[in-house]
Amino acid sequence: MNLQSLNTPAALIDVARMNRNIQRMQQRMNTLGVSFRPHVKTTKCEQVVGAQLAAGARGITVSTLKEAEQFFASGIRDIVYAVGMAPTKLPQALALRRRGCDLKIVADSVACAEAIVAFGRQHGEAFEVWIEIDVDGHRSGIAPDDDLLITVASTLSNGGMQLGGVLAHAGSSYDYDTHEDLARIAEQERSGCVRAAGRIRAAGLQCDVVSIGSTPTALAAGYLQGVTEVRAGVYVMFDLVMHNVGVNELSDIALSVLTTVIGHQNEKGWAIVDAGWMAMSRDRGTQRQKHDFGYGLVCLESGEVLREYVMSAANQEHGIISRAGTPDHEIEKRLPIGTRLRILPNHACATGAQHPDYQAVRADGSVETWPRFYGW
């Protein structure tokens, strides 16, 4: 199978770019002296995760218990479920641990900790629990200096659970676009999480793991004293949001959507393609950044970037390609019906989620199908 034989739309992975991205991150973590635990929600694909582990990653991070189940079935034991534990999902987590999965779960409130303790005692299970730390007000977690941190830690430890460590995610790093700002957020993430771990230890409680991570902070951090591991996910594919943040070039983006021109509106300067938001996703993450790429940046089938052309609008199965600024009234001649294009995505995680599989394109032009999965 080769690129020309594929039906459209199709999600393509440039394997050479993917491997370069994997090596770049792993080598950086090796240099900084920390373990690396990739977040596999970006691709939910065994072949991709296998390449990450082969490069030196130790364990994985998941965002759903379905991911934990799938990757445990493929032979991966060391898994962190990095989402606050819903009590109704504890039976699913217990089943994984009983089958031999070294699953770590997360709490950031007394109520959550108490639910884990009650369920664990009822079923004779000492869950390993990590406490989520809020280092930037971005999402969930406990502030490093909040007294609630010690209360939650004590609840878990006194309740017979294994207090494994702390973890943080500096999601606010996506809001910046200079190395200086990213380095500042990276240090804020590091110091906050390390401080939280120190407070837990000072209270006489165990806290072995200090886990931090986002793709921007992982690539911007100057040093990681006190950190034991880093987590990151989108780096494996990169995307236009990360390009705007300033951590990758367009030539690093390994995921694209192959599409075909199916019509034109010359007076409007439009070409119509068969990839709409069902292929690209509704994610408009670049809209509030310094460069808005619409629903994606247009490339020729060969991968050559057409820098002035974006998918400016999308319906369910129709995408509109247009030139930024002055409309291209010759677009029918430039991109005739049947022309095949690649669209670079705003958000690799969201675009990948629209497809049941990836078409992995190797340097020799050969193509292999890599399945991905859905669900919770």
Per-residue pLDDT reduced to its tens digit, 98-107: 999 999 999 9
Domain coordinates of the chain in residue numbers? 33-236, 254-371
Cβ count near 267 (within 10 Å): 8
For domain 33-236, which CATH number applies: 3.10.310.30, 3.20.20.10, 3.40.50.720, 3.40.50.10420?
A: 3.20.20.10
Residue 21 — left, alpha, or beta (φ > 0 → left; ψ -120 to 50 → alpha)? Answer: alpha
Mean pLDDT computed over 136-153: 97
What pTM was estimated for this model as a whole? Answer: 0.97
Closest CA to 340 of 33, 37, 2, 63: 2
Extended strands (E) in 146-216: 162-168, 209-212
Closest CA to 13 of 37, 47, 36, 40: 47
Per-residue pLDDT reduced to its tens digit, 75-131: 999 999 999 999 999 999 999 999 999 999 999 999 999 999 999 999 999 999 999
pLDDT at res. 348: 98
Instruction: Determine the CATH number of domain 254-371.
Output: 2.40.37.20
Reported as a pLDDT band with limits 50, 70 and 90, residue 244 is very high
DSSP character string of 199-228: HHHHTT----EEEE--HHHHHH-S--TT--
Mean pLDDT computed over 240-252: 98
The percentage of residues in the chain with a pLDDT greater than 70, rounded to a whole number, is 100
